[in-house]
């Protein structure tokens, strides 16, 4: 079994370790039994960080997979697994944060999670997530009230750390201006074709770990693209090093000093995604990747809105800065 490198983030217990590679559980449609089996298989291979969200519908299956791994003796305690979940936008109000956290814990069958994130910097006035989202259902988030709710979750021990997802520097600075507990993590889309250089620099200065999602472009999803896997620069480097394009992309993101989450139910690809630590990219290769033209991907929520509104325009402008 491969050992995954770790870094540390701020938490209720001081600095706590977080594995630099996690297994993403976003929008999986294979069914709960397959999700559970994939979690067990991932633990066998070496994964110890699992990233889910209230929106994904995979919290319950993830919890069952962890329970099964314990039953099989693959891990000795729940503490060996790092679990991230997220507050969905329909609960992005101060008084709704704690109930949403408790519901996620009930779904997971856990007493606590290791990291709880605000999924997006907006409020959705929908009882249930439906597509397309009418523009009138999107509202600005009262970040001070919501963040106080997040802090309460950590103070109560329901999560060890708190953070954000899809937040630009301007919104993070707003949180930092009043936060008693600063965000430990900012999870954003990051890959060689959307490198997030300014955002990563900002977060490092403020002791916030960037976690990159869609490191391979999320090909095959409604919101993903094939540009990473089809990039000629990455293909040429992969051929010369005897690696896959995916491995080149993951090694690149690892060398940026961030963590990231990948998603595959294929056991061999699970293993390949972890086989990136006993080699490195040369300075010349890193320079070639740094010169790849950047193409901001259409963000998930915005691509599902019937028409843009002022809130989405503001978020788009923020994300463009990244």
Q: Where are the alpha helices (DSSP H) in the chain?
A: 32-45, 59-71, 94-108, 143-155, 169-178, 197-205, 232-241, 245-254, 267-274, 283-290, 310-321
Query: Which tokens sit at 321?
Result: 């800065």
CA–CA dist 212, 253 (Å, integer): 8
Q: Report CA-CA distances (Å) from 95 to 91, 184, 223.
A: 8, 22, 31
Feature table: binding site: 119
Phi and psi dihedrals of 148, rounded to 5?
Answer: -60, -35
> Residue 304, Cα to own-chain centre: how many angstroms?
19
CB half-sphere exposure, 299, CA atoms < 13 A = 23
Count of helices and strands (H, E) across the chain: 11, 12
CA–CA dist 95, 266 (Å, integer): 40
Q: Provide the β-strand partners of residue 83.
A: 50
Feature table: binding site for substrate: 119
Query: Which tokens sit at 149?
Result: 């709710």
Supply the Cα-derived Rg of the chain in whole angstroms: 19
Active site residues: 56
Cβ atoms 114, 54 nearer than 8 A = no
Cβ atoms 115, 83 nearer than 8 A = yes
Q: Report CA-CA distances (Å) from 98 to 13, 67, 144, 153, 179.
A: 20, 24, 15, 6, 17
């Amino acid at each position: 079994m491969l050992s995954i490198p770790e870094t540390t983030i701020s938490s209720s217990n001081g600095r706590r370790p977080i594995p630099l590679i996690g297994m993403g559980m976003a929008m999986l449609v294979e069914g709960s039994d397959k999700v559970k089996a994939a979690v067990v298989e991932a633990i066998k291979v070496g994964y110890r960080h699992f990233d889910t969200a209230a929106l994904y519908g995979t919290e319950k299956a993830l919890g069952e997979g962890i329970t099964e791994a314990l039953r099989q003796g693959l891990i000795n305690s729940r503490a060996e697994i790092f679990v991230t979940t997220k507050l969905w936008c329909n609960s992005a109000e101060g008084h709704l944060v704690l109930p949403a956290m408790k519901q996620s814990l009930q779904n997971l069958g856990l007493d606590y999670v290791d990291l709880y994130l605000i999924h997006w910097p907006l409020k959705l006035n929908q009882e249930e997530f439906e597509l397309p989202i009418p523009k009138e259902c999107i509202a600005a988030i009262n970040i001070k009230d919501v963040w106080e709710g997040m802090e309460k979750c950590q103070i109560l021990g329901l999560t060890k750390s708190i953070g954000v997802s899809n937040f630009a520097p301007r919104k993070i600075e707003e949180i930092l201006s009043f936060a008693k507990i600063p965000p430990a993590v900012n999870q954003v889309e990051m890959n060689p074709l959307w490198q997030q250089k300014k955002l990563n620099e900002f977060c490092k200065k403020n002791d916030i770990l960037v976690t990159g999602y869609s490191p391979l472009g999320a090909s095959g999803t409604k919101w993903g693209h094939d540009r990473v896997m089809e990039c000629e620069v990455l293909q040429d480097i992969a051929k010369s090093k005897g690696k896959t394009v995916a491995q080149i992309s993951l090694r690149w993101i690892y060398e940026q000093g961030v963590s990231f989450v990948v998603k595959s139910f294929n056991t061999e690809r699970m293993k390949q995604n972890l086989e990136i630590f006993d080699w490195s990219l040369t300075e010349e290769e890193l320079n070639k990747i740094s010169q790849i033209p950047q193409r901001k991907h259409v963000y998930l929520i915005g691509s599902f809105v019937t028409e843009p509104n002022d809130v989405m325009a503001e978020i788009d402008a923020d994300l463009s800065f990244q």
